[in-house]
Amino acid sequence: MAIFWRGDCIMQGGLFTGKRPVQRAFCEEVISMGKGRYLAQLNNYPVKEEFLDYLPTKTQGLLLTPLRPARNAPPVGLMLLGLDAMRGFGKVDQAWATAVGEKLAVSLNV
């Protein structure tokens, strides 16, 4: 898991390589569009190259959730969750992650 806020990685947890997570083009796209993305089979996406520097080699999927400081505010951050199983998140899990992201963003904006 990595949390990006206003362009910086402010938190990382889990099994990362020695490199610090970086917010690259795909993360910027998710933030600017304001809509989360779920890459259920990461190996099938060319964008995986943006994450290989810091995610564990066996990461199978990614969930990217934009973080908004207020309900109708534009996103200024991103929560990145790596999965160790293909199609590891269902719709309920994605909704749960979105709710956690909303709470986190409000707390970060204080």
pLDDT (tens place) for every residue of the chain, 110 residues total:
899 999 999 998 877 667 889 999 999 999 999 999 999 999 999 999 999 888 888 899 999 999 999 888 999 999 999 998 877 788 999 899 999 999 999 999 86
For residue 110, what pLDDT is reported?
Answer: 67
For residue 77, what pLDDT is reported?
Answer: 96
Return the CATH fold of 2-108.
Answer: Beta-Lactamase (3.30.450)
SS3 sequence of the chain: CEEEECCEEEEECCCCCCCCCCCCHHHHHHHHHCCCEEECCHHHCHHHHHCCCCCCCCCCEEEEEEECCCCCCCCCEEEEEEECCCCCCCHHHHHHHHHHHHHHHHHHCC
